[in-house]
Amino acid sequence: MSNNKPDTRTNMKALEEVKDVTKLQEMVTALWVLLDHIDTLDDMCKGDDAAFRDLTRDIQQKRHKVLTSDGYNLLMPDY
């Protein structure tokens, strides 16, 4: 996924540079939890697409606490 463009944020590290398996497992779990919450919302909001979209939008923004992107690379915030 990387195009080798440098990241200008000093507190970021490209995902492919992360060697800490425990940290990667924590990230996978955190992202899975977000997906699970969205799946639960799908059940809760049957018939109310506007509510589903609004609530899903709130949850999906939380992904940036786990991983973010500069448009070229996946980056870990606060690494």
Work out the mean pLDDT of the chain and round it to a whole number: 84
Question: Does residue 6 lie within any of the structural domains?
Answer: no
Question: Does residue 30 lie within any of the structural domains?
Answer: yes
Question: Does residue 7 lie within any of the structural domains?
Answer: no
Predicted pLDDT of residue 51: 96
Tally the domains of the chain: 1
Residue 59 lies in domain: 13-76
Structure token digits, residue 37: 């919450």
Sign of CA dihedral 4, 66, 41, 49: negative
pLDDT tens for each residue of 5-36? 544 555 677 777 878 888 899 999 999 999 99
Q: Residue 79 in contact with residue 13, Cβ under 8 Å?
A: yes
